[in-house]
Structure formats: structure tokens, C-alpha cells
Amino acid sequence: MKFIHISDIHIGAKPDSNYPWGVMREKEILSSFNRIIDICNEKEIDLLLISGDLFHKQPLIRELKEVNYSFEKLIKTKVIIIAGNHDYIGARSNYVGFDWCNGVHMLMEEDMDSIYLEDINTEVYGFSYHTRDITKPMYNKVRPGCEERINILLAHGGDEKNIPIDKKAVLNNGFDYVALGHIHKPELFGERMAYAGSLEPLDKNETGPRGYIMGEIIKEEVISHIHLDFIPHSVREYVKVELPIQPSFTNGALMDMAKAKIKEYGEQNIYIFQITGFRDADISFQKEDIYSLGNVIEVIDDTVPDYDFEALYQENQDNMIGLYIKGIKVQSEKVKNQEVVGKKALYYGLEALLGAKDNKMLITKILQSMISLLEQK
């Protein structure tokens, strides 16, 4: 029995709506789902499992009709759906009473239910959310009823607010496969349990590939053999890239590095750039220039100016800047990673002090706060 497992499609979501590519992102979510339908037909898939959050919120009738139209294109693939915490079946949910096309089945109950598909000897267990949050562990003791069938558990959850799951317990309960949803990062737990993850990444924290699980189960009497593959599928990825610089770097050099990274990882992707290292004390990087390169959602500047501390100390022995440098050096010897902690404190604090050089009251406050911070470490 060949299957595809997807979850957390979130049709109707509008990622990055305030950015130029935001309009395309909404459309890409639906097109990504529709490509799954095409793959089911191309690969002659027997079963499509959707483990919750097909929609981003309570689906509108027109949204259900659009998805149902896509399901009608399936040639041989059966579909099993559960509602998750985003598209849960509320009192006025349009899921209630909706007439799905032949071969599409939704486990509507709020208690454990199952459906048996005789032609592929497969029974799928699961239930739908009827409230936004379910804090009880609902899956840990569920067991299949007939060992001769291919038994699949369709589940949505895995955190404190959304059905905590004891994965070890569930794995030992006798299911041939456990199709998990809710967590957007794909992850396989051995050969019989997996989070498919979201088809498309939905915010900048969801870095890395997104896609679906393709699997095959062969069962002989009560012994099953399963093979799983994670298949990357998303139109784009959020990619976090470090831009390590040196004191010799100018804004132009930084821009060239960012352009090269975009070319290397793909212009279609969305970037979070983190600038690290020591910069020339006379240079401040123009982050807005990096944003202009295209799909850049965030630029983090973690650089520090490359001061010559010894020279500065010699020049300022008789003032508060010199006192500050001396005090930080003494304190940094008391903490672990003294080179890293001490240097960073020196860089940030010294930058603030030099900026407030003519304001003695502000210098005093900065000095007191920085020394206090290191004493706490």
C-alpha cells in the first residue's frame, strides 16, 4: 500500500503579508497542495493522509469547494482527513454536513474513531479537534483492533496545549504507521512514526526544507514492512545565512557576499542574514542596502567595532573610559569564556561610552550597569 502523508497545509494563511512577495506566498500554499494531487496520480498512490490543519482557520464554504474540486481529480487515491487546532470543528464549522466527493473521508468525531478501506486492507484511526486546545494525552493508549490489517494512526499534537504525545508509548501500541501533524518541522522517529511538517514554511522561524512523507507498507499476515522517505516540496525556504566579516570589509564587500549567498542558495528563497565578526570602528553597515537585494526578511547586525583596546587604555588612563576598560578586564577573568564575554562587553560598552564622551552623568550610568552585568555572571 503506497501512501503520502501531509499535514499543516494552512490553506488561507497569508505569510509575510507586509512584504512584496506576500501575495505570492498565499497562492503558493494552494498550488503546493494541488501539486500533491498531481503527484498522487503520477505515482499511483493508494492513500493520502492529512493529519490536521488543512486550513489555516475555520474554512469557508468556497474554500472547501475548491479543495473538493482538487480531490475530484484523484484517479485511485483515497483521502483521510482530520481537523487540527487551527481548523477545528466548532459549533458553526462548515465541515459539518459538507459533502465530500467519493473516496474522501473525514474523521469528524471528537473521540477516537476509525475507517476501514477494504480494497487496500487499511484501517485508519483518528479524531478531529472540536476546540482550539486539547491538553489531555489522547493517543498514548490507543491500540488497533485487527492485527491482520494495515493499521495507521492519524494524529495532531505533540505539545502542552495540543495533545501531549508519549512517542515511545504510541510506537509500541501496534500501529504500522503513525502520521503526525501540528509540528511544522519534518521529523522521522524510526521507521513507523513521522511528522510530515508543513508543505510550505509559514514564517521566518521555519527554516529548512518543507515537504511530505512518501511511504509504502507491505503486510504479510501480522508482520509489516515499511519504507518512508521525506520529499522536499516547498516553492521556497526561509534560509538563515551567516555573513562573517573582517575589519577590512566595506559595505560594498558585504553586499557582494550577500549577493553570492543568494545566488548559491536560490533567488526564490527568503533570507535572514546575520552579520558577524569585527568591523572597522569607522564603518557602520547599511542594512537597508541588503534588504534591497530581494527576498530579505531580516538583517541582524551582530558585529562589533575592532577597537585597539591597549591604545585606547593608554590614551584614557586618567578618565572613566580607561577605568572602564581596566574594570571589565578584571571582571572578565572571573567568568567562563572570558575572552568572548570580556571582549563583547568591552566592545559594546566602549562603543556606548565613546558615543557619550561629553556626558559625564551618562558615562557613569553606563559604567555602573556594565560592571554590574559582569558581576552577575
Report the chain (377 residues): mean pLDDT per 10 consecutive residues.
98 94 93 98 98 96 98 98 97 95 97 97 98 94 95 96 95 96 96 96 96 96 93 97 94 96 96 92 89 95 79 76 70 51 61 57 54 52
**Per-residue pLDDT tens digits for 239-281:** 999 999 999 999 999 999 999 999 999 999 999 999 998 888 7
User: Which helix (H) or strand (E) segment is 239 a member of?
Assistant: strand 238-245
Residue 83 half-sphere exposure, CB side, CA atoms within 13 Å?
27
pLDDT for the residue 305:
81
Name the domain boundary from 198, 232, 266: 232
Cross-strand pairs, 299: 273
pLDDT value of residue 349: 67
Domain boundary, last residue among 276, 305, 334? 305
Whichever domain contains 199, its CATH number is: 3.60.21.10
Residues 286, 371, single domain; the answer is: no
Q: Are residues 347 and 277 in the same domain?
A: no
Residues 149, 249 share a domain: no
- Indicate if 361 and 295 belong to the same structural domain: no
Write down the pTM of the prediction: 0.85
Q: Residue 352 sits in which domain range?
A: 309-376
Residues 70 and 152 in one domain: yes
The radius of gyration computed from the CA coordinates of the chain, to the nearest angstrom, equals 28
pLDDT at 337: 47
Closest CA to 40 of 82, 103, 100: 103
Backbone angles phi, psi at 106, to 5 degrees: -115, 125
Please count the helices (runs of H) and the strands (runs of E) in the chain.
Answer: 9, 16
Check whether residue 93 and residue 39 sit in a common domain: yes
Using CA atoms, how far apart are residues 84 and 129, in angstroms rounded to an integer?
Answer: 5
Residue 365, pLDDT score: 57
* Same-domain pairing of 313 and 301: no
Residue 310: predicted pLDDT: 76
| 200 vs 319: CA distance, rounded Å | 57
Do residues 88 and 70 share a domain?
yes
Same domain, 300 and 341: no
Residue pLDDT, tens place only, 277-297: 888 878 889 999 999 998 999
CA 54 distance to own-chain centroid: 17
Number of domains in the chain: 3
Same domain for 167 and 56: yes
Same domain flag for 106 and 144: yes
Among residues 213, 232, 251, the one where a domain terminates is 232
Same-domain pairing of 225 and 129: yes
What DSSP letter does each residue of 92-134 carry, written as one string?
A: T-TTTT--PPTTEEE---SS-EEEEEGGGTEEEEE---SSS-B
In contact, 36 and 48? CB cutoff 8 Å: yes
